[in-house]
Structure 1
């Protein structure tokens, strides 16, 4: 099994520094690794991006651990590696299934906040969509990301029926996302979650959230989502999440879950496990050992 990391933008013969510790753990656990150029890949220069990948004699399973890619960029990476006899663990369809919330929403609908979405960014469509939430508080994001660190200006809408507030928050969100906007807008019911602490830089309220990595429908590791705050003895109740995971169309994915103020547990979102980050305090050796046991 081979891990595919991004190289350093300053020197294509060394790994991106943010993944150095992960690479050490992967090697310790018996993984091979190769480097690709993220910049060349996202510029569409696939052959150049993969020029240092040595083709194995026999087909090899690959796992990409790097920066987030659009579905089209991931497809180019997948196809390019396949030509070099390396098959990434998730197909392009599986990558998109967990990368875009609308694609996986029906699979997690029973345990996630009410959501709707649009690729039409005109005011009439947006106001009609948010009317489905009545006077409830909502948040706005795109198909992948929010502007949660700009909480009041570009994420949180206290009352979905307040058209002026909806317009100002959406406008600011679109301004901040700019050319990085993923497909369109998603509106989600705001849920009161159990408070953890305030973010040390943005002041955003942090809540008791966890990131669960799944490989082949089995749990690899459960991490505290935030590196700040005291989680105490709180741990997610996993049975319902494991059951839902059996129907997710992906071999390696994350499920971010959170505890509501009333004690219930919900799914915040899914993500492709190849581009999901590990917390700073993660035991990387344990993660890669567990990944090796469950990914094959």
Structure 2
């Protein structure tokens, strides 16, 4: 409600879509409270994460009501799933490999060995799907102490796939582990940069950070990340950064801003004003988020 109120104060009309109905496949019912338009209305989605295919169906149904999402389905997938953004941030983020994978299928060492071979110079790694990890089951389903140990990697990956169940998104990702500076609770201290149309409009702590956490990102680091954000082509993006133990800033996650959380104590007004301004000035975008001449 805080974000909705802030959006209204920024002069933006707000309508509710039913997230559960979207996931259930009844997208027409999900958007029934969105007023139809003559075709000139644009919108941002702000809500819980949606699988990329579900987001595409939402965009199609809204389009039928004359409402165009400013982030098209291709741009959403590019920012939301690691394979979509990794290539543009490869120099700024831990080395990663991935493979499409079906939910419910148990990976074997014959599957995992070739996948992790590019990372098998030794050292630890972390596993996840294209979007989320099982970080709360760290040793069981997330962390691999030595990627040269294919059997151990297979056990962790298989457990991650099992625990994700039908929520497994896209496939399997394995990333080289890097050690980062911790916050007061012992977790990685992360800074989340919010980008609208390629401009950094807000920097916040990660929403899981302890209350009162403050973060600062050097200008030169922000500028380097901004270059990669610009090439991604998505109009509303978040990047989560952390300071590695050797003093180097690293991008540890990229996300579509529409489904990224603000910290509970963060005033949403600056972000809502930035989104409102972009809504007014953004040119037509194709499905990849690129400007249409």
For this structure pair, what is the TM-score category when the shorter chain's length is used for normalisation? 0.7 to 0.9
Contact (CA 8 Å) 2:191, 2:203: kept in 1 or not? yes
Q: Which aligned pairs between 1:54-203 and structure 2 lie closer than 5 A?
A: 54-57=35-38, 59-120=40-101, 121-133=107-119, 134-198=121-185
Distance 1:29 1:176, change over 3 A: same
| TM-aligned CA deviation for residue 57 of structure 1 | 4.0
Q: Distance in 2 between matches of 1:50 and 1:286?
A: 27
Distance 1:174 1:215, change over 3 A: same
Give yes or no for the alignment of 1:259 onto 2:218: no
Deviation digits for residues 248-281 of structure 1 (CA, Å, limit 9, x no counterpart): 1201111111111111111112111111111112
Root mean square deviation of aligned Cα: 1.7
Deviation digits for residues 40-75 of structure 1 (CA, Å, limit 9, x no counterpart): 211111221111211134511100001111111111
| Structure 1 portions without partners, runs of 5+ | 1-19, 199-204
TM-score scaled by structure 1?
Answer: 0.86
Q: Comparing both chains, which one has the higher relative contact order based on Cα–Cα distances under 8 Å and sequence gaps of 6 or more?
A: 2
Equivalence for 1:202? none
Contact (CA 8 Å) 2:196, 2:278: kept in 1 or not? yes
Contact (CA 8 Å) 2:229, 2:237: kept in 1 or not? no
Distance 1:233 1:36, change over 3 A: closer
Q: What is the count of residue pairs matched by the alignment? A: 271
| Structure 2 portions without partners, runs of 5+ | 102-106, 282-293
- Helix, strand or coil: the match of 1:110? coil
Distance 1:68 1:95, change over 3 A: same
Deviation digits for residues 220-241 of structure 1 (CA, Å, limit 9, x no counterpart): 2111114317655643431211
